[in-house]
Structure 1
């Protein structure tokens, strides 16, 4: 699944699935344009890619701000002259609460970053890809973009929204050379997962048919396929990387 010299924009690339994706993309030959809110984490990933002989750029990016999204895509266009692919991965989750006990700020933060951030990024990526001759966009939804979990209504709403936006946008560009898909990871070993579980890798094993959590590289493998020409007839779909959870 070579992505040699392809220009790929990644949000939330400083840790977890985003970090692994950036490193995997660089190994596949892509030029990575990374956005992340934490400047040091983003710079560290770029340094690691460059040290291994790859090419990468970084810009501090808060995807809840349209101007930041526009600027990240503009950086790719200015430095590399095109955008061939994107992984809209930035996201967050707040505390577990019933709806009536959820702080208003949690509603706003999660919808602004997880859902509106994906919409903003798609807007500017699609415009750049139309100028570049097409491309592939992959949005990071979640298993909870396909099913629900108690005490996370705000998060489930955002992730369902990503799935719906992916399908609708895929129809907008189906004849214009831009494919848009979503991946729906189940529980994946990331710093965010560790914060929820306290580092217990087996807390959710009983809820996964494969009886284990996933690893970031397993998400990256699906991402690379969706960004590559091998998935050239795939658009508007969701690819579950969840150990079988969505089959239940």
Structure 2
């Protein structure tokens, strides 16, 4: 039921921290992993890492906000493998200028920075879906988006990111219904909502240079019943489940992998 061997799986944001964990998990499970990202050096390194362990991988430099990049990547994938079985929309993140400081006037936010975050997270998911998803219609497939705890409840400071991830949840549910109405059970869409994982974008917000917690990091730990941050590999079980036939009757769901953060009242 959990077999994804030989499935052709596209991962956007494949040069990020979570994307790196996804690549390794898919390759170890026998999937053919297509790595999309802007950092060519990291992308090629990850491609070679998979190949050195006997897996199959292909890196294609692409920006998820550039349709021409995605169309070119799609053509290359189809020319190489003849099909696309799954898409993991892992591209996303925050922008420093869009973070609202505790002493900042909330009526004087950086609108352009908010738009930038919104574009990266929402349209960086919608565009790959429109381009790669259409090639799943005949053979079937599954699409996985990346949500966030910021979409589940109000988290201070990260306004643009929160709005974008809330939109991801809505898009996931809306698209799941529309896909089912048009194609039956051929194409599924779900999302994974990670709890707090330390990434390049949030490291300075959660941890200190000496490895301790910032005030914000301490608040997160207090609000997480597991009392720790997540490890990227801890998302892989949900990922493989959603990619495989083990979840073939699951669509429109947002799966929280968060150490209990989303269900904890703080009391």
Provide the TM-score with structure 2 as the length reference: 0.87
Aligned partner (choices 150, 156, 160) of residue 162 of structure 2: 156
Provide the C-alpha distance between the structure 2 equivalents of 1:224 and 1:53, rounded to a whole number of angstroms. 19
Q: Which residue of 2 aligns with 1:246?
A: 262
Equivalent in the alignment of 1:120: 127
Which stretch has the larger CA shift, 210-219 or 65-74? 65-74
Match of 1:107 among 95, 114, 123: 114
Mean alpha-carbon deviation: is it higher for 118-127 or for 158-167? Answer: 118-127
Asked whether 1:217 is paired with 2:233, we answer yes
Q: Is the 8 A contact 2:31 2:56 kept in 1?
A: yes
Check 1:142–1:9 CA distance in 2 against 1; reply closer, same or farther (3 A cut). Answer: same
Farther off after superposition, 76-85 or 90-99: 90-99
Partner of 1:180: 189
Question: Aligned-residue CA RMSD in angstroms?
Answer: 1.6
> What SS is found at the alignment partner of 1:173?
helix
The whole-number CA distance in structure 2 between the counterparts of 1:70 and 1:163 is: 25
Taking the TM superposition and a 5 Å limit, the aligned residue runs for 1:25-40 are 25-40=26-41
Q: Which residue pairs with 1:235 in the alignment?
A: 251
Q: Does 1:167 align with 2:176?
A: no
Q: Distance in 2 between matches of 1:113 and 1:33?
A: 20
Structure 2 segments unaligned to the other structure (5+ residues): none
In the alignment, which residue of structure 2 is the partner of 1:206? 222
* Preserved CA contact (<8 Å) 1:31 1:56: yes
Looking at structure 2, the residues matched to 201 and 109 of structure 1 have their Cα atoms a distance apart, in angstroms, of: 30
Listed one character per residue, the Cα deviations across residues 172-203 of structure 1 (whole Å, up to 9, x for unaligned) are: 11215001000000101333342332454652
Residue 52 of structure 1 corresponds to 53
Say which SS state the counterpart of residue 225 (structure 2) adopts: coil
- Aligned residues between the structures: 247
Higher Cα Rg: structure 1 or 2? 2
Q: SS in structure 1 opposite 2:137?
A: helix
- Partners of 1:115 and 1:166 lie apart in 2 by 11
- Contact 1:186 1:243 (C-alpha < 8 Å) held by counterparts: yes
Aligned to 1:189: 198
Question: Which residue in the other structure is 2:44 paired with?
Answer: 43
